[in-house]
Amino acid sequence: MAATRPDKLPPIDVGAWVRVGGRFQGLADPSKLNHQSMDTIYGELHAGGKIHKNVSVTLNLNANGLSKGAGIMDAIVGFDFVDPFHVWVGQLLVPADRANGSGPFFMIPWNYPGFYNVPGTAGAAVLPAEGPSGRNAGVVIWGDFMEGMFKYMAGAFNSKNTPATATSPAVPNNAADPTATPLYSGRLQLALLAKEPGFWGNGSYFGEKDVLSIGVSGQAQKALVGPNYGEFGADVLAEFKVGGGWVTGEVVYYHFTADNSAFKNSVAILGAFASPTVGVGNIQPMVRYQMAKGEGTTPNVSAVDVGLSYLVKGPALRAVATFQHVDLGLDRIGNSIQLGAQAIFF
How crowded is residue 226: how many other Cβ atoms within 10 Å of its Cβ? 12
Cβ contact 79:55 at 8 Å: yes
Contacting residues for 261 by C-beta, under 8 A, at least 6 apart:
164, 171, 229, 295
Domain ranges of the chain: 14-345
Q: What is the pLDDT of residue 260?
A: 67
What integer pLDDT is reported at residue 258 of this predicted model?
78
Q: At the topology level of CATH, where does 14-345 sit?
A: Porin (2.40.160)
Tell me the pLDDT tens digit for each residue of 182-230. Answer: 999 999 999 999 999 999 999 999 999 999 999 999 999 987 777 888 9
Confidence (pLDDT) at 176: 41
Average pLDDT over every residue of 299-328: 97
- Res. 159: pLDDT tops 90: no
Go through 26-55 and write b for each residue having 16 or more CB atoms within 10 A of its CB, e for each that does not.
Answer: eeeebbeeeeeeebbbbbbebebebeeeee
